[in-house]
């Protein structure tokens, strides 16, 4: 065998791999094994060479694979790579598996912020992936006319088929699918959910009250029960009672955390996630979690519509015409899973972070308590009519989401593979580049929020005329273009208004009736260590002591 033949074959295959991305399972074994087999067997078949042996095949395969790996590595690290101008970790430039590995620790938001502080606003964290901290680019890249979704969610869902709305890379299809969500989360629809939110929030406060006089209560557990029950009401027509029983669906939360960790890993190497997802006996934990949601969707369809919940709109039960045929079952499953995961975990995490920040800043707790007492005296119903007037509550929620965003990175986008790429404010992204807008880094950057970008200061968000607002003097920076806990543009978080309504109702309900205090020796650093970034965040524990306020029982 001429050693130059497998070397040339490897260089040619590398060029094919650079230009052709596929999730076809058979493609990669063919790309790795077929060339060495052809090199040995074609000459023999045509009578020009000796019969191939196993040793000859292994020798040819080793040379071919070594050359292919060297060629790929050399190109990715070379100054000829289209992203060579952007700094980043050496191993990240070589392979997406580096960030996949980093993500398993749940601290990638801090890792990326440290890289941004060291290298600048644009980082290269994968062979063809960057992360951006420059808020001036956001509107063009992910705003009204922003770029389509990237492949991250394919890896997270372990599939490129039957995708939830959040994973659709076809912008037109995404917009089409989103219409049902828009109807289900419109102001009119939200008004219809108000009583259900108040009911579940009332149950939550009553259950927390039952722990008065006890050593501690884990608030993070109860917020999880609340969001799980409420989103079960919304996504699958109810049927759960975690709060009333005081026993959470541990299989849901355990499955969610395990699948979130796996999903984050495969989100950095989506091709690998999709391939493994097609092997039946692998990734059983994540598939079990998805199967649980599938069973809930099937029961909801069989039961039919009882109330105008979110599922009512996702199943087009609100429109009866030929333009809105009932969606296929798998689409409802995918969107139901999205509603449960996005609606349960993000709101529970933010509510937990809210009280963690209040515990660490008792002066803020007191100011917020004063505002709640002003608008919701004893016996006042938990309605929403005062929410828009409660500026300090809005400031506390915004400041919490700034420091502890439930989704530290916005959803991944990708420059189309055909065309000339895109340039925005000095940032050039070549065709095919996948990227994230790094919300956590932008929101804690001194160029966007000063003074003290890492400090918890709800006054940042108060109207300038408010007497408690920060002095708008030299050094004061408040760049709301860099604040994107729900992302921005037409593909932002469709449940933003619902999430804010839930959080405001729960906060007002709790502060109206009880006083919560941290346990002895608790520190905000304890909570931060348990706050994990798996695209959506996994919250840490938050133990608290419950006191019923005088005259509020």
Binding residues for heme, as ranges, are: 493
Q: Tell me the pairing of strands 217-218 and 543-548.
A: antiparallel
Contact 518, 543 (CB under 8 A): yes
Binding site: what residues are annotated? 493
Residue 545: its H or E element: strand 543-548
CA quadruple 199, 205, 206, 208: dihedral positive or negative? positive
- Percent of the chain as helix, strand, coil, to the nearest 5: 55, 10, 35
- Verify cis geometry, omega within 30 degrees of 0, for the bond prior to 41: no
Indicate the DSSP class of residue 88. -
Nearest of 176, 79, 192, 121 to residue 436 by alpha carbon? 121
Q: Taking every pair of C-alpha atoms in the chain, what is the biggest distance, in angstroms?
A: 98
Q: How far apart are CA 20 and CA 200, in angstroms?
A: 50
Please provide the DSSP assignment of 331-391 as one string.
Answer: HHHHHHHHHHHHHHHHHHHHHHHHHHHHHH-HHHHHHHHHHHHHHS-TT----STTGGG-H
Torsion sign over Cα 58, 61, 66, 69: negative
CB atoms within 10 A of CB 45: 11
């Amino acid at each position: 065998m001429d050693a130059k033949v497998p070397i040339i074959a490897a260089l040619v295959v590398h060029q094919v791999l650079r230009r052709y991305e596929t999730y076809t399972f058979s493609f990669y074994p063919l790309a790795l094994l077929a060339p060495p087999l052809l090199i040995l067997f074609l000459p023999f078949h045509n009578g020009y060479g000796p019969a191939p042996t196993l040793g000859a095949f292994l020798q040819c395969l080793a040379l071919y694979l070594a050359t292919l790996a060297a060629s790929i590595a050399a190109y990715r690290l070379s100054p000829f790579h289209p992203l060579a101008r952007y700094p980043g970790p050496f191993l990240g430039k070589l392979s997406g598996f580096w960030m996949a590995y980093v993500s398993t620790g749940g601290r990638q938001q801090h890792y990326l912020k440290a890289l941004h502080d060291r290298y600048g606003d644009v980082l290269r964290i994968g062979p063809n992936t960057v992360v951006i901290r420059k808020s001036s680019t956001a509107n063009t890249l992910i705003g009204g006319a922003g770029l389509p979704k990237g492949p991250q969610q394919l890896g997270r869902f372990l599939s490129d088929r039957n995708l939830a709305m959040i994973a659709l890379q076809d912008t037109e299809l995404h917009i089409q699918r989103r219409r049902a969500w828009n109807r289900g989360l419109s102001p009119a629809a939200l008004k219809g959910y108000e009583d259900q939110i108040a009911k579940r929030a009332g149950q939550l406060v009553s259950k927390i009250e039952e722990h008065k006089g006890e050593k501690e209560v884990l608030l993070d557990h109860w917020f999880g029960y609340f969001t799980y029950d409420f989103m079960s009401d919304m996504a699958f027509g109810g049927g759960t009672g975690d709060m009333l029983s005081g026993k959470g669906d541990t299989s849901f939360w355990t499955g969610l955390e395990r699948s979130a960790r796996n999903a984050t890993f495969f989100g950095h190497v989506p091709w690998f996630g999709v391939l493994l997802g097609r092997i039946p006996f692998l990734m059983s934990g994540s598939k079990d979690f998805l199967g649980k949601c599938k069973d809930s969707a099937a029961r909801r369809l069989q039961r039919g519509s009882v109330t105008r919940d979110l599922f009512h709109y996702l199943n087009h039960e609100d429109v009866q015409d030929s333009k809105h045929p009932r969606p296929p079952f798998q689409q409802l499953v995918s969107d139901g899973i999205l509603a449960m995961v996005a609606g349960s975990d993000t709101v529970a995490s933010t509510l937990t972070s809210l009280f963690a920040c209040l515990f660490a800043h008792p002066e803020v707790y007191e100011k917020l308590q004063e505002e709640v007492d002003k608008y919701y005296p004893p016996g006042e119903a938990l309605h929403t009519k005062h929410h828009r007037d409660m500026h300090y509550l809005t400031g506390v929620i915004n400041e919490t989401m700034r420091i502890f965003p439930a989704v530290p990175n916005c959803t991944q986008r990708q420059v189309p593979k055909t065309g000339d790429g895109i340039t925005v404010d000095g940032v050039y992204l070549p065709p095919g580049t996948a990227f994230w807008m790094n919300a956590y880094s932008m929101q804690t950057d001194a160029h966007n929020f000063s003074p003290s970008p890492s400090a918890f200061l709800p006054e940042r968000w108060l109207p300038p005329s408010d007497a408690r607002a920060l002095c708008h003097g030299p050094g004061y920076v408040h760049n709301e273009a860099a604040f994107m806990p729900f992302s921005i543009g037409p593909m932002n978080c469709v449940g933003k208004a619902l999430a804010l309504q839930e959080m405001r109702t729960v906060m007002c309900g709790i502060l109206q009736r009880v006083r919560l205090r941290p346990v002895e020796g608790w520190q905000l650093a304890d909570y931060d260590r348990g706050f994990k970034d798996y695209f959506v965040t996994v919250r840490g524990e938050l133990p608290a002591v419950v006191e019923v306020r005088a005259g509020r029982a």
